[in-house]
A and B are shown apart, each in its own frame.
Chain A
């Protein structure tokens, strides 16, 4: 059965800190891994990774995928209170019509 495990489940940091969120997975016929940010209700797309070792960056956020070790990390540097959210990791099995999500990491950034 396809599975995504995220760690930690929750994290509290101060503004300016750097955080690393982890995502490990087991999936048949991997196609891609996606990160979403969920602040209140609608998850919003951050990154999609398909190739190992390639870093995707957007401002202070970056992510990398290791297809050999079956994990991904999401880094956030110089955190701000607006980064407080649940960060969801999901994998897309090849030939499937669904995403398989982890439970998420709840990040709280205090001023």
Chain B
């Protein structure tokens, strides 16, 4: 186990709804990244948070947004859910101070199903 915890583990939403996923980083880790993993695909980078600010973003629309809190935990919010948002959402933490230096420590993920 990596010490990165995510909640909820599973959830089901309908199109148009909004969802919030939560992540607690491993102790001592100040940088949190979020990845989306669709079925049969590799994880895709959504964004990274460092010092409570977004520090890089992948090719995802603005309805994907996030927060990082002073204790380094983080939230991923997705508005106006679409069917294609169904995926495993992985949170990863590192003590890299915003610059990626290799290994990421992943949580168990939140499995989102959009009906």
Contact = CB atoms under 8 A, between A and B. Distances in A.
A34 B106 contact: no
Given A41-B108, A42-B108, A42-B109, A99 B90 contact: no
B56 interface: yes
B88 interface: yes
Contacts of A41: 88, 90, 108-109, 111
Interface footprint category on A: 20 to 34
Given A48-B102, A48-B103, A88 B41 contact: no
Q: Number of contact residues on B: which range applies?
A: 20 to 34
Nearest to B42: A101
B85 to A, nearest CB: 18
B27 to A, nearest CB: 17
Interface string B1-36: 010100000000000000000000000000001010
Interface stretch (A56-64, A72-80, A90-98): A90-98
Interface in B64-115: 88, 90, 98-100, 102-109, 111
A110 to B, nearest CB: 21
Given A97-B55, A97-B99, A98-B100, A4 B90 contact: no
A99 B108 contact: no
A44 B33 CA distance: 15
Given A42-B108, A42-B109, A48-B102, A99 B45 contact: yes
A37 to B, nearest CB: 11
B98 A97 contact: yes
A40 to B, nearest CB: 8
A7 interface: no
A78 to B, nearest CB: 26
Closest 9 CB pairs of A and B: A101-B42, A97-B56, A98-B45, A41-B109, A97-B48, A42-B106, A41-B108, A42-B108, A48-B102
Interface of B: 2, 4, 33, 35, 40-45, 48, 55-56, 58, 88, 90, 98-100, 102-109, 111
